Amino acid sequence: MNADQPAEPEAAAPGPPPAAPRAGLSERELAVLAVERRSWPRAGAKERTIRERLGISPTRYYQLLNALLDDPRALAHDPVTVNRLRRLREERRHRR
pLDDT in tens, 15-37: 444 444 445 999 999 999 999 99
> Which ranges in the chain belong to alpha helices (H)?
27-37, 43-49, 58-69, 72-77, 79-95
Q: What is the pLDDT of residue 90?
A: 94
Q: How many CA atoms lie within 13 A of 63 on its CB side?
A: 5
pLDDT in tens, 45-66: 999 999 999 999 999 999 999 9
Distances in whole angstroms, Cα of residue 22 to Cα of each of 19, 47, 78, 81, 85: 8, 25, 10, 15, 20
Local confidence band at 71 (pLDDT 50, 70, 90 cut-offs): very high
Local confidence band at 9 (pLDDT 50, 70, 90 cut-offs): very low
**What is the rounded distance in angstroms from the CA atom of residue 72 to the CA atom of residue 74?**
5
Q: What is the pLDDT of residue 3?
A: 53
Specify whether the CB–CB gap between 11 and 47 falls below 8 A.
no
